Structure 1
Amino acid sequence: MSPTSTPTNAPTNAPTNADVRRARDALRGQVIRTPVLFSESLDALAGCPVYAKAECLQHAGSFKVRGALYRLLTLPPQDLADGLITVSAGNAALGLAHAAREFGAKLTVVMPESAVPEKLAAVAAYGATVVTEGVVDAAAAFARAELLRAEHGLTFVHPFDDPMVVAGAATATLELLEDRPGLERLLLPASGGGLLAGAIMAKRTLGSDVEIIAVQPSGAAGFVASLVAGEPTAPPVIRTVADGLTAPMPGRLPFALAVQARTEVLTVADKEILDAMVTLVRTLRVVVEPSASVGLAALTHEPHLRDGRPTGLILSGGNINWRLLADTLRVLPGVA
């Protein structure tokens, strides 16, 4: 695959390689080129060299700001003027709230009542209007957002199933592959699929042969259910400590790209996720949320991955419930 080609059987609404390059250029100076962290002790635990891109240090605390900013950069001015609305358990809301403030646009965010309190407070602090009452889960949030959009004439910004959001998200993987061209494998958190779809597009844009593996919590395995069904499908249950990976189902665009790329999907248990989170805090000295830890959880619990191949992780966010972090650090072994 050449860096300038796009597969002829790509989903019709997929961003192009040119879109990804435009997103990279447009976001230069607007987002942080986050560092790639590594540690000999982490390598020893994982059984391979590990390079972790710290998007937990990004504006608004996650990679989501990349897609949000680029989507607003590509929106018609009238859509911005009409006001924006989105749905999120937290990180997409924070990313779009940051972007909306930068553009001077009004934003309404529908969030589940169970959202992490720190995320709810941070979204409101950016100046967004937060709607939670009666929103019991992500599916209910999307339904409420549609009612509000129609009632008030707002512009809906999808948190992951949008080609320009995917193009913006792709810049995280693009930077990682540019900074560490010797990587042979990427392990990425997946839920709605924006980061995963962006990684697939970044790989195509650079003409890289890196292997991309998606990782989900076993309690929110929407991609697994969708692969069985052959179309985006909700998992039988969504219950996980990784609140950032609780989309009701994968987006149609990310799912189509993942299927086309024949992406392997792995699942990890909540205990494995929390173990990995502690390991990242201890070895890399950064605060990450459970959602950002699933890649390392898979790497340390899947025997077939302990093969010595240089592996990249994207630490997708650091917007954690502080009580959860304190409790986890206190009770898990291996923490001084």
Structure 2
Amino acid sequence: MTPTIADVRRAADALRGQVIRTPVLFSEALDALAGCPVFAKAECLQHSGSFKVRGALYRLLTLPPEALADGLITVSAGNAALGLAHAAREFGAELTVVMPAKAVPEKLAAVAAYGATVVTEGVVDAAAAFARAERLRAEHGLTFVHPFDDAMVVAGAATATLELLEDRPGLERLLVPASGGGLLAGAIMAKRAAGSAVEVVAVQPSGAAGFVVSLAAGEPTAPPAIRTVADGLTAPMPGRLNFTLAAEAGIEVRTVHDQDILDAMVTLVRTLRVVVEPSAAVGLAALTYEPGLRDGRPTGLILSGGNVNWRLLADTFRVLPGVA
């Protein structure tokens, strides 16, 4: 099932008052560094710390009551778990989350604090997490909520981009973090819903370039390995729905190195005064370090989340030249 423009508009109406209409941040210092006007949608300030709560809430709003009553299960490295945990608490539904054992400790603790049951034992990566979740779903009759490859999750995620395009209709380019592809597919649908000509560009870590591999193969394909500091962009491969939308839209994909992501993360903290996680910084990393993007065009970023490992943030500031 593919989301429609009508789905996106219904999601925007349904989520009004349920999610924060996050601000669009900008600064002259950031513009000077990027070589163009930059407008950053601060989803790092959203409920649960990321855009993921939008898709989670809208998915639960569209589930039948019996599916909620059966209990929910999902898979996540962190942000989707947090978003669904927030939503499940709002709906009074029980939630089990399968997370990699090496997930960011702050994310693991926060998911549990929402009241979800967290399963990590023996879960070494995202692929193992999906397999474990399927076994638990079958054993206990739970309702599986896909963290990114679901039409209603995508429709909810689209509302972040829709708000950005409403607030900044003059944007010419939008750089979107991509992994499983829910935010990217949402951006594509939001562009259509807004009737915008904005160019949507996907950005991935070079060590987790699932969309690059998949577009070359013509179908969702896992990259040879997934190694990146951007833990929120470690889906085993793009979702089929999201891949199809991206392929049909002819989306360009840029990749960035981990050190460039960390540099961009610090730049965002210093210029916009907001804390972001590495996954949220890939767009600025591309804008800063990809020569082909330094063309002066007004550019939007989606700061997808702020659930950063505090030790990583502190260590990153500590080792950068000129940072006290």
**Which TM-score band applies after superposition, normalised by the shorter structure?**
over 0.9
CA distance in 1, matches of 2:22, 2:215: 32
AA matched with 2:309: N
Unaligned runs of 5+ in 1: 1-12
CA distance in 2, matches of 1:106, 1:139: 23
CA contact (8 A) 1:282 1:335 kept: no
Aligned residue pairs total 324
CA distance in 2, matches of 1:199, 1:253: 13
Aligned to 1:47: 35
CA distance in 2, matches of 1:182, 1:162: 30
TM-score by length of 1: 0.96
Aligned to 1:4: none
Aligned to 2:194: 206
Residues 9-20 of structure 1: matches in 2 within 5 Å?
A: 13-20=1-8
Aligned with residue 99 of structure 1, among 72, 76, 87? 87
Aligned to 2:127: 139
- 1:222-272 Cα distance to aligned partner (Å, 9 max, x none): 001101111000000100000000000000011000001100001000000
Aligned with residue 148 of structure 2, among 160, 163, 172? 160
How far apart are residue 172 of structure 1 and its match? 0.1
Aligned with residue 272 of structure 2, among 264, 274, 284? 284
Aligned with residue 233 of structure 2, among 245, 255, 269? 245
How far apart are residue 213 of structure 1 and its match? 0.2
CA distance in 1, matches of 2:247, 2:188: 11
CA distance in 2, matches of 1:207, 1:335: 43
- 1:308-332 Cα distance to aligned partner (Å, 9 max, x none): 0000000000001100000001111
AA matched with 2:281: S
Aligned to 2:50: 62
Aligned to 1:149: 137
Runs of 4+ in 1 over 4 A off after TM superposition: none
CA contact (8 A) 1:118 1:321 kept: yes
CA contact (8 A) 1:37 1:52 kept: yes
Secondary structure of the corresponding residue to residue 138 of structure 2: helix
CA distance in 2, matches of 1:224, 1:293: 19
Aligned to 1:195: 183
Aligned to 2:283: 295
CA contact (8 A) 1:233 1:249 kept: yes
Residues 245-324 of structure 1: matches in 2 within 5 Å?
A: 245-324=233-312
Aligned with residue 218 of structure 2, among 215, 224, 230? 230
CA distance in 1, matches of 2:190, 2:322: 36
Give RMSD over aligned pairs: 0.5
2:59 counterpart of 1:71: yes
AA matched with 2:237: M
CA distance in 1, matches of 2:292, 2:316: 28
CA distance in 1, matches of 2:282, 2:236: 18
- 1:10-47 Cα distance to aligned partner (Å, 9 max, x none): xxx21110000000000000000000000101000000
Aligned to 1:9: none
AA matched with 1:240: T
CA distance in 1, matches of 2:321, 2:43: 26
How far apart are residue 335 of structure 1 and its match? 2.7
Aligned to 1:6: none
How far apart are residue 193 of structure 1 and its match? 0.2
AA matched with 1:153: G
Aligned with residue 203 of structure 2, among 211, 215, 219? 215
Aligned to 2:22: 34
Cα separation, partners in 2 of 1:334 and 1:43, compared to 1, 3 Å: farther
- 1:179-208 Cα distance to aligned partner (Å, 9 max, x none): 000000000100000000000000001111
CA distance in 1, matches of 2:176, 2:137: 32
| Percent identical | 88
CA distance in 1, matches of 2:16, 2:105: 31
CA distance in 2, matches of 1:258, 1:40: 32
Secondary structure of the corresponding residue to residue 294 of structure 1: helix
Aligned with residue 117 of structure 1, among 85, 90, 105? 105
CA distance in 2, matches of 1:45, 1:161: 35
Residues 172-191 of structure 1: matches in 2 within 5 Å?
A: 172-191=160-179
